[in-house]
Amino acid sequence: MTPEQVREQYEVNANDFIVSPGKFEAEHFSAPYFYDSILDGCAESLDWMEDGCGVSADLIAIGADERALWNLEPEDGFVVVVEHDNGFVTLHFYDSEAKARAEWEREPEPQEDDVTTPDHRNFYQWGKLVLSIGEDENMAAALNAWMERERYWPSVWFVSDHGNARLIDLSA
């Protein structure tokens, strides 16, 4: 979709925002273009939850030609296009991929078959204790040896008593 096609389909104000009612209302007039890019498979889907409801959040890198075509700011290098569960689409512009990901990617969390520990000594999988290591044992070495014996290499997580999960790096 070109800027001319957007202006033909939607009422766009002098500040380049869509004022027509609908899913793109009050968004920059590039919203239909970036939304079509998602439908064409030209975006990376991000995992995101909003108020307990899933929303579609997709990351798109913006090229210099696109910035010029759509009258975007020079620092607008990435856009996250969000389709909310009510059908509305919002755009969120960023100057770096890292900033976009920091805001929109959901932190990873333990999966059902991962191994978790509350104390770095006792390790559980599917709610069952699978490994206990002594105070003098190297945690990473003990876990890697257990995984070799089991021929299974799940992710290992520390889960605090508040339920916060942090992935444990076993490469050390």
**What are the tens digits of pLDDT across the range 124-146?**
999 999 999 998 999 999 999 99
Count other Cβ atoms within 10 Å, centred on residue 29: 21
Yes or no: say if 135 and 122 are a contact pair by the CB < 8 Å rule: no
- CB of 5 closer than 8 Å to CB of 36: no
Tell me how far the alpha carbon of residue 73 is from its chain's centroid. 24
- Dump pLDDT digits (tens) for 33-79: 999 999 999 999 886 655 444 567 899 999 999 999 999 999 999 99
| Mean pLDDT over the full length of the chain | 90
Residue pLDDT, tens place only, 82-114: 988 788 999 999 999 988 887 887 666 788 889
Question: 166 or 125, which is more confident?
Answer: 125
Checking if the pLDDT of 2 tops 70, the result is yes
Average pLDDT over residues 148-168: 89
CB proximity list for 155: less than 8 A, separation 6 or greater: 110, 111, 114, 115, 167
Kindly state the tokens that stand for 142: 């003990």
How many CB atoms are located within 10 Å of the residue 37 CB? Answer: 19
Q: What pLDDT score does 51 carry? A: 43
Cβ atoms < 10 Å from Cβ of 73: 9
Largest CA distance in the chain: 72
